[in-house]
Amino acid sequence: MSRWFRRHLEMIVLVTSASLLAGGGLAWWAGLSGAARSAWIAGALLGLAFALAATVDAARHRRPTVDVIAVLALAGALWVDEPLAGAIITLMLATGQVLEARADARARRELSLLTARAPRTARRVTPGGIVDVSVDDVGVGERLLVRPGEVVPVDGRVVSASTFDEAALTGEPMPVARPAGDDVRSGVVNVGAPVEIVTTTTASTSTYAALVRLVEQAQASSAPFVRAADRWAIAFVPLTLVLACVAWWAAGDPVRAVAVLVVATPCPLLLAAPIAIVSGLSRAARMGVVIKGGGALERLARARVVVFDKTGTLTRGRPTLTDVLVREATADEALRLAASLEQVSAHVLAGPIVEAARARGLALELPEAAEEIHGQGVAGTVDGRRVRVGRPSWIVGERPDAWTRQVRRRADLDGSMSALVELDGRVAAALLLHDPIRPDAPRMVRALRAVGVSRIVLATGDRDDVAAMVGRIVAVDAVLAECTPADKLAALEREAAHGSTVMVGDGINDAPALAAADVGVALAARGSTASSEAADVVLTVDRVDALADAMLIARRSRRIALQAVAVGMGLSLVAMIAAALGYLSPTAGAALQEAIDLLAIAIALRAVVPTRMHSIVLSPEDRATLASLRVEHDSLAPLVESVASVADALTSARPDLGDARALVASLESDLLPHERADEERLVPVVARALGSTEAVAALSRTHAEIEHQVARVRRLLDTVDGGATAEDVVELRRMLYGLYAVLKLHNAQEDEGAFSLVPVGSA
């Protein structure tokens, strides 16, 4: 009961003070002056106790506060027999406290996910067999067994090669193969076969335990939100007290001093500012951005430096099939057989492979005799053919041939992951998967700069070359690669020299940095994680460009709050001077203060009025147009990739141009009509959305360039109809590679500038 009372104290005081004030008014109207006086005195005493408690609490924490003015005003009103003025002041104070409590209600920063995920037991390998022991009893140099799907309990060294999901520590979605003798950290998940490790630390000194401590320390170092009123108190309280004393001394009448204190009660600070902040919180929530309290909103408004994690924030956070390299089968057939087999696999790459096959309209079959080798791949029979899909080292062994080495080299250059497809004992194709950059990420970075962010940093656990590529595309100011959670904390400390910091991430490994930054922003569209627990701002929509709009809302709300405070306190100062000169009684001053409060609130309510955001609002017709064109756009991805495949297959030794002729025919019948439809339908939609035809000039230019390049290839093929020379093959290959580069760049432009305006899956 006492806990419930403390949690709802402000609301109880508000309801009680309103009831006493209204009850006293009704009693006075009914001619019961004694009852009215008693009700108003009770209201004033309630406010005095409430304000006095707040003042004592502020003094105990050595925090300046304007509540001392309320204490003096309430005590003075009772002293000079002005109980109605005291009852009005109590209502103002209670209303301000309730609004402030609502605005500053912070979501609890729990470590529930981190602690629940931490292993409690370990499997010790002994001469007598496997023994389950408490993880706290594990010492250095012991042998532990980690089964598939289990979390590594303490840091150690793997006895045999295995594969681990290290996303909890690095944030990277790709499984990592660890050879025998390599170090493995606690907190990662074994996604391969059962593996033994030799421990190198104890549980208390392991990586995962350190991660939990980092979050705890970072949370403890986060300063609490200080009310706007408190920052004005240092100058406002002495001014009020001096003016009240001067009025008393000059007139010899304590009533004037009380009147000064009454009109000085800083309700514009206690009411207007929280209302503007709550309005900002509400507007952000409607956009899918949950800001955990007024303190977080205010700090977001002051932010000047934004530090991004890569995976899941600037990239999708989930692998996507980008290319099918064929050797002894067609791309569609290899993908169909591989995806049919992957339907029964729980591997992280299985889902994207199946999705890609279905997106191409391929008919999948259920495999027979399927068997998954953890961390290696899956084997089975599909349509009577023996199929294996998995790691190159599992398919071809430790001695890859030239074609497999070329696949690996291409994957390394692109920062991709490769899986080989074996059909009836022969390598037939390779699947390349990549974590793509979010199409809305570059626009989000530009929008952040437009709202006043002066520095943007990418801090990721990924390789330096991959991080640098992402940083170039989204145009950040600095790139920090191969970062551990501790490295991200150190980066935030360095970046704090440039201004207030914002950390954006979505993984457990980002939780310490999210808690340590001035504002932590978590992406939780795919589910709640420890990052959302540690964050101040949570994006519940799968769009990072919502962050720029949230920052715009925060800055506007803070600006309006300051305007409301400035107007309200300015008028209060004028009223204080009038009261000091004897023109206002305490009751009249309290009524005037209410009018000033209403004006300040009206100014604060401007924060509710919608303004233009960076996010584009499309009409239902335009959304439907973009959605239909996007379906066509995505369906043409295999045709675009076949341009490079055909060019790769061209050889001057056997100048067979049949595949090139078929390719050009498909480009003319499928691709060019789509590009013309884009020019006629997509370009006007984007121009309307962005408010400028100049913004789509690059799209129109590349539409024309694509048609021009296809026409050039067609003319070349027509001129060599009688037979191609080696020089013709070289020229054709050069033209196809050039066309492929134009198509890839154009598709990226459309993804970023057009199709990112509509979230994936919306219509």
Report, as residue numbers or ranges, the catalytic residues.
309
Spatial distance between the Cα atoms of 383 and 638, rounded to a whole number of angstroms? 23
Spatial distance between the Cα atoms of 19 and 616, rounded to a whole number of angstroms? 47
3-state secondary structure of 121: strand
- Residue type (1 letter), 266: P
Q: What is the DSSP string of 243-257?
A: HHHHHHHHHS-HHHH
Spatial distance between the Cα atoms of 102 and 533, rounded to a whole number of angstroms? 19
Can you give 616-644 as a three-state secondary structure string? CCCCHHHHHHHHHHHHHHHHCHHHHHHHH
**367 to 225, 260, 328, 394: CA distances (angstroms):** 59, 85, 21, 20
Spatial distance between the Cα atoms of 7 and 479, rounded to a whole number of angstroms? 45
Spatial distance between the Cα atoms of 483 and 499, rounded to a whole number of angstroms? 22
630 CB-contact burial (10 Å; exposed 0-12 / middle 13-18 / buried 19+): buried
- Residue type (1 letter), 617: V
Q: Identify the DSSP state of 696.
A: G
Helix and strand numbers, DSSP H then E, in the chain = 31, 22
Spatial distance between the Cα atoms of 753 and 695, rounded to a whole number of angstroms? 9
Q: Residue 386: which residues within 8 A CB-CB, separation 6 or more?
A: 379, 380, 423, 424, 425
Q: What is the DSSP string of 553-600?
A: HHHHHHHHHHHHHHHHHHHHHHHHHHHHTTS--HHHHHHHHHHHHHHH
CB 315 within 8 A of CB 506: no
Spatial distance between the Cα atoms of 205 and 596, rounded to a whole number of angstroms? 59
Element (H, E) at 422: strand 417-423
Element (H, E) at 89: helix 83-103
User: In this structure, what token pair is assigned to residue 214?
Assistant: 């980092």
CB 186 within 8 A of CB 209: yes
CB 529 within 8 A of CB 231: no
Spatial distance between the Cα atoms of 502 and 516, rounded to a whole number of angstroms? 9
